[in-house]
Amino acid sequence: MRHLLSITTLLLLLVITTSCSSVRVASDYDKQADFNNYKTFAFYKTGIDKAEINDIDKRRILRAIEAELTAKGFTKSEKPDLLVSIFTKSREEVNVYNNGYGPYGYGWGWRPYYWNNSTVTRNTEGVLYIDLIDASKKELVWQGQGTGYLSQNKKEERIQEFVTKILEKYPPGAKK
């Protein structure tokens, strides 16, 4: 019984730690597009310039996208088949946990020696969109979205994780 309890505790801890670091992904695409025709890419500067993130993180994202697309057999080109653009959103989540109680216990009444043991946590949830645009038609043919919590620690690794997870969905219907 004790062994079962320790395994359960370990599994619960594993689920909690992996759920905090995971990236939830989704993608959508034009069902009429023939993704076998796309072999080259370039970054769509107009779209990328509109992304509301700092230039350092922007470069990190673009380097990660370039590495992933190159690994999939794409070539960067001056005359690309696909234009790559990005868009970002974020929201801050503030949680306040009030663990306050006074020397007189819980309940009604005035407590002159009441102390407050509140804890405030802040998390930033970010969304990264990667758009693939047919360069000749100037039409969006694929969009991947990754949502997850951001961290100031190991930022480059976290960005790489977002991009890798999103681009696992490209091309649509590909076997993993």
* Least trusted range by pLDDT, from 60-64, 92-96, 131-135, 169-173: 92-96
**What does DSSP assign to residue 44?**
-
- What average pLDDT does the segment 50-74 reach? 95
pTM score, two decimals? Answer: 0.74
* Least trusted range by pLDDT, from 4-8, 65-69, 124-128, 138-142: 4-8
**What does DSSP assign to residue 3?**
H
8 Å CB contact between 35 and 172? yes
Which has more confidence, 29 or 105?
29
Residue 144 is predicted with a pLDDT of 98
Nearest 5°: phi and psi at 124? Answer: -115, 120
Candidates 140, 135, 144; CA nearest to 167 is 144
Asked whether residue 176 carries a pLDDT value surpassing 60, the answer given is no
**What DSSP assignment string belongs to 112-165?**
TT-B--EEEEEEEEEEEEEEEEETTTTEEEEEEEEEEEE-STTHHHHHHHHHHH
8 Å CB contact between 87 and 58? no
Percent of the chain with pLDDT over 70: 75
- What average pLDDT does the segment 59-64 reach? 97
Q: What is the pLDDT of residues 66-89, one digit of tens each?
A: 999 999 999 999 999 999 999 999
Average pLDDT, the chain: 82
Strand stretches in 13-138, DSSP E: 24-29, 40-43, 75-76, 82-98, 118-134
* Least trusted range by pLDDT, from 11-20, 25-34, 35-44, 143-152: 11-20
Asked whether residue 39 carries a pLDDT value surpassing 90, the answer given is yes
Residue 115 is predicted with a pLDDT of 58
Domain residue ranges of the chain, discontinuous segments joined by +: 25-94+125-167
Residues composing the chain: 176
Residue 154, Cβ density class (10 Å: 0-12 exposed, 13-18 middle, ≥19 buried) = exposed
For 25-94+125-167, the fitting CATH number among 3.30.70.1140, 3.30.160.670, 2.40.50.140, 2.40.110.20 is: 3.30.160.670
